[in-house]
Amino acid sequence: MAFTRATGKHRRPSRVHRTTARAAGVAALATTGVVGTLAAPALADESEAEQSGLTPVITIGDSIADEIDAQATAQERAALHAAAREAAQEAARERAAEAAEQAREAKERAAREAERKRLNTFVSPITASYVSTAYQAGSSLWSSGSHTGIDFHASSGTTVHAVGVGTVVEAGWGGAYGNQVVIKMHDGTYTQYGHLSSIGVSVGQSVVPGQQIGLSGATGNVTGPHLHFEARTSPEYGSDMDPLAYLRSHGVNL
């Protein structure tokens, strides 16, 4: 009796086909890191699979599955730790930036306060002196008939101070005022210092509270050495205001 060789879809898979399938399975497992563990059992089953004519199926044992799960868990945990580190670093950067901004703002506030204090600081034009002639006192000594400023008691050569922050607008001979200095103050008012024996500043110079601008004397229309001090709304004669009230309003105790 003659036997016919099986063909078509009923043909038994060739050894080459079975080997290729098995190689593909091993390659797939290589990505899990268990190919070394599985390769030997897979090859050992080859003869049995050839006897049955079935494509071999590799079964992963519990221990290998546990190892894969452990690897996945470790990778997930590492990713979480990396994310946590990045979040902590970002938070640290934000805190550092916030601290730097607060320090900058504090420095600016301190600078503004120092400038405000500097601008609002006033002193007496003569240290440890007193007013010897009051504002608007009447006398024939003055062409207007009354005193347009106040006189501070001072012997000749006593240091005369700028009462506050300002810029010198006049420095020289002032007729009846003798040698004089006129300063435009930072708030737009003016102060005048008359009868000086010498002048120590020049026009356009900036001055600060307590800075020496000259020495007291008896130049101009006077009966003796002293400092004539005026507060004005402009640099011109006739724009005077009460100099004692002016100084007191700026914190000078007289």
pLDDT in tens, 6-19: 444 444 544 444 44
pLDDT, residue 51, reads 52
Comparing CA positions, the residue from 167, 142, 166, 164 lying closest to residue 228 is 142
Going by C-beta distance under 8 Å and a sequence separation of 6 or more, which residues neighbour residue 164?
119, 121, 122, 123, 185, 186, 191, 209, 250
pLDDT for residue 192 is more than 80: yes
pLDDT digits (tens, 9 = 90+) for 199-250: 999 999 999 999 999 999 999 999 899 999 999 999 999 999 999 999 999 9
53, two tokens:
């004519």
Task: Measure the CA–CA gap between 42 and 60, rounded to whole angstroms.
Answer: 11
pLDDT at residue 248, as a whole number? 96
Instruction: Give the mean pLDDT of the chain.
Output: 82
Whole-structure pTM value: 0.61
Distance of CA 145 to CAs 135, 139, 151, 231, Å? 12, 6, 16, 18
How far apart (Å, rounded) are the C-alpha atoms in residues 200 and 205?
10
pLDDT of residue 18: 45
- Rounded CA-CA distance 178/248 in Å is 26
Residue 173 confidence class, pLDDT cut points 50, 70, 90:
very high
Return contacts of 97-104, CB within 8 angstroms, 24+ apart.
none
Least confident of 76-90, 134-148, 209-223: 134-148
- Summarised one tens digit per residue, pLDDT across range 31-67 is 444 444 444 444 444 455 445 555 555 556 778 888 8
User: β-strands 212-216, 150-153: how paired?
Assistant: unpaired
User: Would you say the C-alpha torsion 169, 216, 172, 230 has a positive or negative sign?
Assistant: positive
pLDDT of residue 36: 43
CB 141 within 8 A of CB 158: no
CA dist 188 and 119 (Å) reads: 12
CB 227 within 8 A of CB 213: no
User: Nearest 5°: phi and psi at 109?
Assistant: -60, -40
Extract the tokens encoding 210. 């307590």
Report d(CA 22, CA 169) in Å as an integer: 104
